[in-house]
Amino acid sequence: MKKLKKSLKVMALFLSGLILLQSCSTYKTPVSLQQAVQEEKAVKIVTVDDDAYKYKYIVYEDGKFYGVKDNPGEDVKFPITVEEVEEVLMKKGLPWWAWALIGVAVIGIAIIIVAAGAGGGSYSPW
């Protein structure tokens, strides 16, 4: 029973470390407004007044840039004044398949740790 508790503690520390070290999607990549329109990804716009605005994506219509926010049931466009934009940061994160692979690896490691603790001895998958 003591080995099981120790294994569970190790597994809990491991999972806690993964959670703390993982970063959710972050706005890291500086781009131009034209690149943001082409990518159609979430962006964060920082103005010269140090205000930050997050948009679902940016569109270019009628010679103007618009930031699109998701409103329940519809997308709402907000005009962007190009002169006030200091920095455009694109959201960068892992693709869905990478998160699935990480999840499978964590579950596999957890099973190995629990099996080693429950077996009473060292565990070798070979």
Question: pTM for this structure?
Answer: 0.56
Position 80 scores a pLDDT of 92
Please state, in angstroms and as integers, the Cα–Cα distance from residue 25 to each residue in 41, 67, 74, 92, 103, following that order.
11, 19, 23, 6, 17
Average pLDDT estimate for 49-75: 90
Position 102 scores a pLDDT of 79
Percent of the chain with pLDDT over 90: 27
Position 77 scores a pLDDT of 93
